[in-house]
Structure 1
Amino acid sequence: MGRGDIKTKKGKIFSGSFGKSRPAKPAKAAAEKKAAAAAKQA
């Protein structure tokens, strides 16, 4: 459960990858962007 464990956030930061425990973009920012795009279309 340290830097070598790729399933943890610390391990993903160390290896430089993204996934469920370390999203490339936070869920809140993605949701706001989606809502803004929907409002712009309508």
Structure 2
Amino acid sequence: MLSALETINLMLGFGMFTIALVKLVVELLKKDKKNNQSITLAS
């Protein structure tokens, strides 16, 4: 059984990881859209 402090630390750590993952996906999608636009403009 985890103590309250350990549980909070685990939740915070998982939350930070999830936020970082979402930010990474958003950045990749933004880059992807920019690349697609430049490709369509070039062709």
Higher relative helix content: 2
Q: Normalising by the residue count of structure 1, what TM-score does the alignment of the two structures yield?
A: 0.40
Q: Which has the higher contact order (CA 8 A, sep 6+)?
A: 1
Q: Normalising by the residue count of structure 2, what TM-score does the alignment of the two structures yield?
A: 0.39
